[in-house]
Amino acid sequence: MKQFRLLNLKLQTKTTLYFLIGLLGVTLSCLYITRYFFLVSLDNLENAESTRASKQAYNLIINMVEELEERSYDWAYWDETHALLLGGSVQEYRERNLFEGSLDSLSLDMMIFTTLRGDVIDSVARYQNSDHNFSSIVMSEPAIYHHVQAMNKVMDSFRESYSGLLALDEQLWSVSITPVRNSDGTAASSGWLVWGQNLSSRFPGNFESILIAQSDIFHIGQSHQLSLIPEVEKSRHYMSQTIDLVGMSGTPVAHLKTTLERVHFLKGNVLFSYLFMAVAFVAIIITAITYILFRRRVAVRFSDLEKDIDELFSSYQLEGLNQPNKDELDRLTKLVQALASDSSATKEQLQDTQQKFAALYESQTIAMILVLGREIVEINRTALELLDYDIGEVVHQPLDLICPDDDKPECQIDTMYRMFQQGQTQFESQMITKSGELIDCHIEVKSIKYQGRDAVMLSVRDVREHKKQTKLIEDLVERDHLSGLWNRKAIMEKARNFVQTQPNQFSLLYITIPNLMQVSEVYGHQIFDQSLESIARLFGEELSAFPVGRISSHEFLVLIERIEEFDIAELGAIRFKEALSRKRQIQTLMVDLRCQVVLIEPEITHHSLDKLIHSSIHALETSRIPASPSNLLRIGSEEFDVAQAAAAIKRDLECAIESREIHAHYQPIVDSKTAEIVGFEALARWQHPQFGFVSPGVFIPLAERDHQIIKLGESILEQACEFMTRVDKIRRSQGRTSLTIHVNLSAAHFYYPGLPDYLVHIIQRYNVLPGQLVIEVTESMLMGIEEEVIARMEMIKSLGVLFALDDFGTGYSSFSTLCCFPLDIVKLDKSYIDQLEENDRAKSLVRNIANMAQELGLTTVAEGVETASQARKLKNWNIEEIQGFYFYKPMAENELLKLISGSHG
């Protein structure tokens, strides 16, 4: 419910006002209570006074009645009266005694003389009506009448007087009736003397001054019932009591009303008004002073309190209460509730935390050490067990006791503290037990308050087991399970890491054992596995200081982590190579596990690992230095660049073939007798945009390794056939016979199943004549199963293609090759021709080959003829055809076409 608020007063002002309203309330209510009791007391007092006044007036009336009766004896016991009633002269008596003045002197209003029977003899009265009538009325009043009747029935001596009040003609009268006797009182009564006083007219009269209050008599009607309790009437100024006056006959005859002025009450009231005003005035002054003092000295603290509350509110952000116009006490109550629930929640949380902490502290696995400054102040059981100390031996000891010394200038603890200040809280460290054993542990540092001071709690976990496990897992994951060496992933990662973090500060050994590839094929897995174990053992013996990994079935990488160890590694590698240069006994076999080692110089270890390995392989493949056991191949920047160029060439090869950037040049072959061109050999040429002229000796082996050789072969073959259609055209126009075209095929291409179909396609497309196309094969190409090779050759030959045996005289050349395979031409290698001048053996060899070839029906071609002398000799020895720079160098198509056209005639 929304509370009505007149003003948004500040707590300071409000508190002051509350206080003052309270103060005034107390003062005024005290004043009012006092006034009430004071006035009630005054009222009671006045009541008593009024009662007294009423009684006084009443008693006065009673006294008047009694006095009247008493005084009446003076006249009743007077002889003259007695005489009168005994029959004396009324005239005389009247003259002498009974006149107006007598009533005045006796202070009476009526005097009646009657007989014993009550008959009026004479009377005198002060009354408007006639006397006579009045006396009769009086005597006929029942009370008088009955008294007379009653007295007449008793003995004379018992006749007595009687007095009381009577209401006569609406006037109250005090009346007495007294028997009349002689002055001695001895004679019998002669009649009755009735005296009366009109009280209505004369009360209080002379007594007025005696009475303490004003008293009045009021007539009442006949029917009025007697009331004994005085009737009280009060007004602000007066208080009156009315009591009934009982007449002679016992019934009320009149009211006596006593009216008292309320002097005290009025005075009291006035007094209190003054008092009230005085107190109010004083109270206002005190209030004002209090207001100022209280507000300044006391309530100002509420103002502070209010500010504090506001701050608390803004910090607690209590829902709906963070409004400055809300009642502070409401807000404070809510705040206290919120704080109370907060604090109880906090208490619960605290208990939870304590329990958790206790559980942690009692943990069986986590050792906890509380350190203040550098002093151990508390340590749990687990920590004691871990370090093998009793509590007394550790507590209050420096932390250094359980931390091992470090040979570095800054000790381990200082490092830890410094790192902790920089925000690191977890440390892999070591602790030292009582017996001096070092324990690998994981330490977590937390700063806490201990007895009001900054301390740190070290949670220490023994990680020895964990480390063992990790190492085991690491071994399982990172080790080659056959050799126990690092596996490819692990060693490569390590090496890559070195490339990144310490370029040119480390080196590598690349070791390859090519025969391993065949060992498993030739001897089976078991021998392979044992060979590998043997090699691993040898690594352990010669290169134990270095991480060694197997990166493929037959390749290994040795990481030389420190440049200073380069020489040691080199010596180790030489010993290793020497050891493997001898056949090794595996079971009952002697296995050749010769290896090649490449020492990668630190100057290139900033290059990527893949490039380094690739360069090593390339270097081995292209190396011209003869492999000896003590000879390691070293690769530095130069070799690396070459290898990289080779890699680049390899990369560009495919594109170059497709775009015919690799194209054919043609070297004419001439008749030895006439020196006329009889044919051409197509030779691949590549003008690389980056590296310039690239020798086929470089890119052909690359194309072979990269399976590009088929495409290259087809490209050259097609270009050659294209060329020949043009040549043929010219030759036909010259009326000459067609020439032959020699195309070199690689072994891979020769064994390619699609070759015959392709040749058919080419022959048809370019109209190649039978015997016009010559395929040059090398001896190594014919090394497969003889029948299969022959069948293949026969099949190709059936298409009208001839075969030339290239480079005859190199490699495993044998004359049997010439006999067994369906060859048409034999090409003598340049190495024989070169030796013709000085080597007689070469001369006879060439001659014999020429003779034998002739016998076998083979055409002989001499290659690499550079001099006239060579040409002459070859001609004389019946070598039919010659190819060489002496006649022609390989030439571009256009050049040759011009040449052929020009040689017409």
- For binding to Ca ion (CB under 5 A), which residues are involved? 744, 776, 806-807, 863
Residue 866, contacted partner among ligand C2E, Ca ion, none, CB below 5-8 A by kind: ligand C2E
> Is the CA virtual torsion 50, 56, 57, 58 positive or negative?
positive
For residue 855, which amino acid is it? E
Smallest distance, ligand C2E to C-beta of residue 746, A: 4
- Tell me whether residue 49 or residue 863 sits nearer to Ca ion (CB atom): 863
What tokens were used for 728? Answer: 């043929």
Residue 695, contacted partner among ligand C2E, Ca ion, none, CB below 5-8 A by kind: ligand C2E
Smallest distance, Ca ion to C-beta of residue 630, A: 35
> Is the CA virtual torsion 152, 154, 159, 160 positive or negative?
negative
Cα–Cα distance for residue pair 1/342, rounded to 1 Å:
26
What residues from 312 to 371 belong to the interface with ligand C2E (CB under 6 A)? none
Among 700, 739, 775, 828, binds ligand C2E (CB under 6 A): 700
- Tell me whether residue 215 or residue 870 sits nearer to Ca ion (CB atom): 870
CA nearest 136: which of 151, 123, 153, 117?
123
Smallest distance, Ca ion to C-beta of residue 682, A: 9
Smallest distance, Ca ion to C-beta of residue 778, A: 8
- Tell me whether residue 69 or residue 863 sits nearer to Ca ion (CB atom): 863
Among 702, 739, 745, 879, binds ligand C2E (CB under 6 A): 745
Query: Which of these ranges, 48-56, 288-296, 332-340, 681-689, lies near ligand C2E under the rule CB under 6 A?
Result: 681-689
Smallest distance, ligand C2E to C-beta of residue 855, A: 24
Residue appearing with tokens 């056991």? 629
- Tell me whether residue 295 or residue 663 sits nearer to Ca ion (CB atom): 663
Residue 230, contacted partner among Ca ion, ligand C2E, none, CB below 5-8 A by kind: none
Among 591, 684, 762, 777, binds ligand C2E (CB under 6 A): 684
CA nearest 217: which of 205, 228, 227, 206?
205
Residue 746, contacted partner among ligand C2E, Ca ion, none, CB below 5-8 A by kind: ligand C2E
Smallest distance, ligand C2E to C-beta of residue 656, A: 13
Q: Is 905 in the site for ligand C2E (CB under 6 A)?
A: no
Query: Which of these ranges, 392-400, 497-505, 636-644, 881-889, lies near ligand C2E under the rule CB under 6 A?
Result: 881-889
Among 380, 864, 871, 879, binds ligand C2E (CB under 6 A): 864
The burial class, CB within 10 Å (0-12 / 13-18 / 19+), for 841 is exposed
* Cross-strand pairs, 684: 664
Asked if 895 and 726 touch (Cβ cutoff 8 Å), the reply is: no
- Pairing mode, strands 881-883 and 859-863: parallel
The burial class, CB within 10 Å (0-12 / 13-18 / 19+), for 701 is middle
Q: Is 683 in the site for ligand C2E (CB under 6 A)?
A: yes
Instruction: Tell me 355's DSSP state.
Output: H
Residue appearing with tokens 């004679």? 187
What tokens were used for 669? Answer: 């072959």
Asked if 738 and 731 touch (Cβ cutoff 8 Å), the reply is: yes
Smallest distance, ligand C2E to C-beta of residue 888, A: 8
Residues across the chain = 905
CA nearest 366: which of 441, 437, 312, 297?
441
Smallest distance, Ca ion to C-beta of residue 734, A: 27
Cα–Cα distance for residue pair 115/152, rounded to 1 Å:
11
Smallest distance, ligand C2E to C-beta of residue 773, A: 14
What phi and psi, each to the nearest 5 degrees, are found at residue 585?
Answer: -90, 120
Residue 697, contacted partner among Ca ion, ligand C2E, none, CB below 5-8 A by kind: ligand C2E
- Tell me whether residue 682 or residue 879 sits nearer to ligand C2E (CB atom): 682
- Tell me whether residue 141 or residue 776 sits nearer to ligand C2E (CB atom): 776
Residue 167, contacted partner among Ca ion, ligand C2E, none, CB below 5-8 A by kind: none
CA nearest 195: which of 95, 100, 73?
73
Cα–Cα distance for residue pair 86/97, rounded to 1 Å:
16
Smallest distance, ligand C2E to C-beta of residue 723, A: 13
Q: Is 695 in the site for ligand C2E (CB under 6 A)?
A: yes
Distances in Å between the Cα of 434 and the Cα atoms of 146, 362, 400, 404 are: 142, 22, 12, 11
Query: Which of these ranges, 499-507, 693-701, 786-794, 837-845, lies near ligand C2E under the rule CB under 6 A?
Result: 693-701
Residue 402: strand, helix, or coil: helix
Smallest distance, ligand C2E to C-beta of residue 512, A: 26
Q: Is 775 in the site for ligand C2E (CB under 6 A)?
A: no
Residue 890, contacted partner among ligand C2E, Ca ion, none, CB below 5-8 A by kind: ligand C2E
What's the Rg (C-alpha) of the chain?
79
Query: Which of these ranges, 198-206, 231-239, 494-502, 677-685, lies near ligand C2E under the rule CB under 6 A?
Result: 677-685
Q: Is 807 in the site for ligand C2E (CB under 6 A)?
A: yes
For residue 672, give every residue at least 6 positions away whose Cβ sits within 8 Å of its Cβ, in sequence order, or none.
Answer: 862, 871, 874, 875, 879, 880, 881, 882
The greatest distance separating any two alpha carbons of the chain, rounded to the nearest whole angstrom, comes to: 242
Terminal CA-to-CA distance of the chain, rounded, Å?
130
Cα–Cα distance for residue pair 350/340, rounded to 1 Å:
15
Cα–Cα distance for residue pair 369/419, rounded to 1 Å:
18
What residues from 22 to 51 belong to the interface with ligand C2E (CB under 6 A)? none
Q: Is 806 in the site for ligand C2E (CB under 6 A)?
A: yes
Cα–Cα distance for residue pair 881/862, rounded to 1 Å:
6
Residue 696, contacted partner among ligand C2E, Ca ion, none, CB below 5-8 A by kind: ligand C2E
Smallest distance, Ca ion to C-beta of residue 829, A: 6
- Tell me whether residue 468 or residue 889 sits nearer to ligand C2E (CB atom): 889
626 preceded by cis ω (within 30°)?
Answer: no
Q: Is 667 in the site for ligand C2E (CB under 6 A)?
A: yes
Dihedral angle over CA of 286, 289, 292, 297, nearest 10: -90
Query: Which of these ranges, 168-176, 249-257, 369-377, 883-891, lies near ligand C2E under the rule CB under 6 A?
Result: 883-891
* Cross-strand pairs, 881: 671, 861
Q: Please give the angle made by the CA atoms of 95, 99 and 105, to the nearest 5 degrees.
A: 125
- Tell me whether residue 485 or residue 700 sits nearer to ligand C2E (CB atom): 700
Q: Is 870 in the site for ligand C2E (CB under 6 A)?
A: no
Strand 171-180: give its sheet, edge to edge.
Answer: 120-125, 110-115, 191-198, 171-180, 162-168
Residue 884, contacted partner among Ca ion, ligand C2E, none, CB below 5-8 A by kind: ligand C2E
Smallest distance, ligand C2E to C-beta of residue 827, A: 7
What tokens were used for 776? Answer: 């040059």
Smallest distance, ligand C2E to C-beta of residue 776, A: 6
- Tell me whether residue 247 or residue 713 sits nearer to ligand C2E (CB atom): 713
Q: Is 679 in the site for ligand C2E (CB under 6 A)?
A: no
Site string for ligand C2E, 705-744 (x = CB under 6 A): --------x--x---------------------------x
Site string for ligand C2E, 77-116 (x = CB under 6 A): ----------------------------------------
Smallest distance, ligand C2E to C-beta of residue 532, A: 37
For residue 270, give every residue at least 6 positions away whose Cβ sits within 8 Å of its Cβ, in sequence order, or none.
Answer: none
Residue-by-residue DSSP string for 325-348: TS-HHHHHHHHHHHHHHHHHHHHH
Binding site for ligand C2E (CB under 6 A): 667, 682-684, 695-697, 700, 713, 716, 744-746, 776, 806-807, 863-866, 883-885, 890
